[in-house]
Every structure is written in C-alpha cells, then in structure tokens.
C-alpha cells in the first residue's frame, strides 16, 4: 500500500479541503459585511445630509425672520428720527444709523454661508465624501451660532423700542388733540364775549352821540377803535374756524388708525373728566368737545404692535404740533390785540363808570349843570344842597345862569361851567383819591393795633395821627 493511500493522509487532505472551503466562505462573508458597512455608512450620510438640509432651511428661515425684524427696527428708527421725546431715544437712533449698515452686511454674509451649506449638501449627496461631510457639519454649527447672535441682537433692540412705550405716545397725541379742542373752545368763547361787550359799548356810544347832537371827538375816536377791534376779532374768529376744521380732519384720520387701547384710555378720561359748564343764555345740553363724543363708537380693529403704533405716532405727531402751534399763535394774537386796544378799553371803562347826574326837573340851573357834568365823564361826586348851591367833591359852589350860560362863582367873579369842571374836577378827583388812600392806611393801622392788643400789647401808639380822618 502506497503512502498516499494511507487513511491519515486521506483524512488530512479532506480536512485541508474543508478549510479552504471555509476560507472561501469567510471571504464571502467579509465581502458581504464590508458591503453592508458601506451601505450603512452611505445611509448614515444620507440621513445626516437630510437632517443638515432641514437644519440649513430652518437657519435660513430664522435668519430671514431676524433680517425682517431688523428692517422693521431700522424703518422705525428712520420714522422716529425727529419725533423723539427723550435724549435716550435720540442716542439710540444715532446708534442705529451708525451701526445698522454693518449689521446688515454681516447678515448678508450669513446668508452666503447658508448658500454655501446648500452647495456642500449637493456635493456630499453626489460624492459621499466623508471629509466634505465633516466640513459641512462644521459650517452648520458656525452658521447656527451666527443666527443666534442675530436673534439676540433683535431681542436687545426690540427691548429698547418697547421701553419707548408706543401706547403712551399715542395716548399723548390723543390728549393733545383734546387739548386743542378745549383751547379752541375757550378762545372762541372769549372772542364771542368780547365781541358782544364791544357791540354793547358801540350801541351805548351811538345813543350818547345821538342824544348830544354834535358828538365830541373823543366819542368818535372810541367808535373808530371799537370798529377796528371788532374787525380784528372777526378775523380771529375766521382763523379759529379754519384751525377747528384742520383739527377735526386730523382727529378723524387719527381716530381711524389708533388701536383699541387708545380708545379705552380716552373713555376712562371721559368718565373721570368734570362735567363742562353750561353756556349762559342757551338752553339744551352743553356742546361737548369732539373728542368726548365717541362713547358708542365701534371697537378698533387696528393692530397694537409697537411698530404700528410708533408709525401712527410719527405720522400724526407733526400734524398735531402744527395745529398746536397755530393755537399758540392765536393766543399770542389775542394777547397783542388786548395790548393794542388796552387804552380803548380803559377809556370805555371810564366812560361806563362815570356817574350820571340826575337834575331836578324844572330847575334850569340844575338841568344845565347836569348836562355839563354828564358830558365831562368825570367821576366827581356832586350833591345839590339848595337851588344854585352844590357840593362839588369837597368844595361848595354857587351856580347861576348869566346870558343863557351856566357859570360858577369863583372868588370875586364867575367861570363858565365847562371851564370850572375841567379846572377843578381833576383837582377834586385827586383830593378824593388821597383821602381814600389815607383812610385805607388808617384802617390797616387800626387792624394791626387790634391784633397787637389781642396778643397783650399796648394801644398807646395808635389812634393819634388818624383822629382827624374819622
């Protein structure tokens, strides 16, 4: 028997064949595992790419939102420029003007970075390159941090704008319109009263001129002054009517654009406001200001976000300020009118306050004296003591008619009544004024002395110098 046919040799050879077969199978398994691993890696890359793509889209969405918010903030700053009410607001707007260009430049770079991530996603999808995959993940992480920074900037800037209190600004505009309405009403009432009084004075002077036949130059001057005053008042009333229309147009437009919160605040003011006084001489309910006539108006559907309210505030602030300036100018015009016509009113006051002397009917001397006294417009008290005998202020006088003219006894001769009143009338007025001052001084001294006596002090120093005035 040959060696090759030995059982042990045969068995070894068979075992060797089985080992080779197993090795072949192991290689197939390794190949299969490698193929499976590659497929798993590719699947993981595909899944990661899908997730990164979603994240990139979300980052773009967030960045777009931040960009839109920053655009709002920039537009708000541009609108508020020149409409601020505090130095902090001015500083903030100056900062915006200086830094926003750089902010938008950086956001543009962020958008470019996300565009680059989109390109990497396409490349990784096509090439399945692991290194590009790692680079794509790093870009996404960096872009995420930058978007978070942009969102943080939006929150910080919006917080600054929230502190401006847009609602409070709109309520102030609403109150200003109400103040304009009230100022118009007051000016209109003052002008109406002044005009009515001047018309009465004009009528009185006309009657006086008709009664006297040939009026004095002074009365004619007063009539001319009254005419000028009334003409200026009428012009002012026309100007106020124009301002009223302008204010009303502004209010109606403002009221259409304000949110409901402003109307609620207006209703609270109306509820807490005192009832307006009723106009004298007119029946019915008082004419309430236009701003207080909207108790039943429909609710506003306008938004109440800060940007909208600030935009409405900026739109109407300057318009309202123009109307307010016109009101102030009207007040100054009225003050100038009063200053210019002050002497006229003073003369009218003197004319009105002068006492009317009522003569005794049938007494020719008394009737002539009454005519002279009432024409001179001097407030000198005159008392008839007897026929032809009078107390003129503090001075006793004798009057008679000579050659149809009234004369007054002065020393050893006579003086015409007109000349006497002109000469001695003002002297008596001065005497009466001095006497009145002295009486007031004594009254004050007596009051002080009484106060001292009540506190235990002596009255020894009182009474001496005032005794002659009692």
Q: Which helix (H) or strand (E) holds 31?
A: helix 7-80
pLDDT of amino acid 37: 61
pLDDT of amino acid 42: 57
How far apart, in Å, are the Cα atoms of 187 and each of 181, 223, 250, 289? Answer: 10, 24, 20, 14
Token reading at 425: 């009338």
DSSP 187-226: HHHHHHHHHHHHHHHHHHHHHHHHHHSS--HHHHHHHHHH
pLDDT of amino acid 376: 75
pLDDT of amino acid 446: 66
Can you list the positions of beta strands (E) in 369-454?
A: 382-386, 389-392, 395-402, 405-410, 413-416
On whether the CB atoms of residues 204 and 308 are closer than 8 A, the answer is no
pLDDT of amino acid 261: 94
pLDDT of amino acid 450: 55
| Long-range own/partner contacts, residues 104-108 (CB < 8 A, 24 or more apart) | 104/67, 104/70, 106/146, 106/150, 107/63, 107/66, 107/67, 107/70, 107/150
In the chain, the domains with their CATH numbers are 3-162 (no CATH), 166-270+300-350 (1.20.1260), 356-452 (3.30.920.20)
pLDDT of amino acid 246: 96
Provide the residue-wise pLDDT of the chain in tens; the chain has 470 residues: 555 667 777 777 777 778 887 888 787 777 777 666 656 655 667 888 888 899 999 999 999 999 999 999 999 999 999 888 888 899 999 999 999 999 999 999 999 999 999 999 999 888 888 888 889 899 999 999 999 999 999 999 999 999 999 999 999 999 999 999 999 999 999 999 999 988 988 887 787 777 655 555 667 788 888 999 999 999 999 999 999 999 999 999 999 999 999 999 999 998 887 765 554 444 444 444 444 444 456 788 899 999 999 999 999 999 999 999 999 999 999 999 999 988 888 877 766 555 678 899 899 999 999 888 887 767 788 999 999 999 998 899 999 999 989 999 998 899 999 899 888 887 887 787 788 778 767 766 665 565 555 444 433 443 443 433 33
pLDDT of amino acid 288: 47
On whether the CB atoms of residues 237 and 193 are closer than 8 A, the answer is no
pLDDT of amino acid 274: 77
pLDDT of amino acid 286: 45
On whether the CB atoms of residues 438 and 469 are closer than 8 A, the answer is yes
Token reading at 51: 């997730």
Helix 87-127 × helix 130-162 angle, to 10° = 160
Angle, CA 204 vertex, CA 199 and CA 205 arms, to 5°: 100
């Amino acid at each position: 028997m040959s060696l090759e046919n030995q059982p042990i040799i045969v068995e070894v050879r068979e075992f060797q064949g089985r080992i080779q077969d197993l090795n072949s199978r192991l290689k197939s398994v390794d190949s299969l595992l490698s193929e499976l691993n590659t497929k798993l890696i590719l699947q993981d890359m595909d899944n990661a790419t899908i997730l990164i793509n979603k994240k990139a889209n979300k980052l773009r969405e967030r960045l777009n939102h931040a960009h839109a918010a920053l655009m709002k903030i920039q537009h708000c700053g541009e609108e508020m420029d020149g409409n601020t009410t505090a130095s902090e607001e001015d500083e903030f707007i100056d900062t915006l003007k200086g830094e926003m260009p750089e902010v938008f430049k950086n956001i543009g770079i962020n958008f470019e970075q996300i565009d680059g991530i989109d390109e990497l996603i396409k490349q990784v999808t096509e090439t399945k390159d692991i290194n590009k995959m790692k680079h794509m993940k790093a870009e996404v992480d960096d872009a995420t941090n930058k978007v978070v920074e942009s969102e943080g900037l939006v929150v910080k800037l919006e917080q600054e704008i929230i502190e401006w209190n847009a609602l409070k600004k709109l309520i102030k505009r609403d109150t200003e319109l109400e103040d304009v309405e009230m100022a118009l009403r007051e000016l209109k009432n003052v002008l109406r009263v002044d005009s009515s009084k001047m018309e009465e004075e004009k009528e009185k002077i006309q009657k006086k001129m008709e009664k006297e036949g040939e009026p004095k130059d002074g009365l004619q001057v007063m009539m001319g002054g009254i005419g000028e005053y009334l003409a200026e008042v009428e012009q002012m009333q026309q100007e106020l009517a124009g301002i009223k229309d302008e204010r009303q147009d502004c209010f109606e437009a403002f009221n259409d654009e304000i949110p409901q919160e402003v109307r609620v605040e207006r209703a609270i003011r109306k509820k807490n406001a005192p009832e307006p006084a009723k106009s004298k001489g007119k029946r019915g309910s008082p004419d309430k200001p236009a701003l207080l006539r909207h108790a039943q108006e429909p609710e506003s559907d306008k938004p109440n976000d800060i940007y909208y309210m600030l935009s409405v505030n900026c739109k109407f602030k300057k318009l309202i300020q123009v109307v307010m300036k016109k009101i102030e100018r009207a007040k100054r015009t009225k003050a100038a009118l009063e200053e210019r016509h002050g002497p006229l009113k003073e003369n009218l006051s003197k004319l009105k306050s002068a006492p009317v002397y009522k003569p005794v009917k049938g007494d020719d001397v008394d009737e002539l004296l009454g005519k002279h006294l009432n024409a001179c417009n001097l407030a000198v008290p005159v008392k008839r003591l007897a026929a032809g005998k009078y107390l003129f202020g503090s001075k006793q006088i004798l009057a008679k008619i000579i050659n149809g003219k009234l004369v007054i006894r002065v020393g050893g001769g006579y003086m015409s009544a007109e000349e006497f009143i002109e000469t001695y009338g003002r002297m008596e007025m001065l005497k009466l004024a001095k006497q009145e001052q002295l009486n007031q001084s004594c009254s004050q001294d007596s009051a002080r002395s009484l106060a001292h006596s009540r506190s235990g002090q002596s009255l020894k120093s009182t009474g001496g110098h005032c005794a002659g005035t009692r």
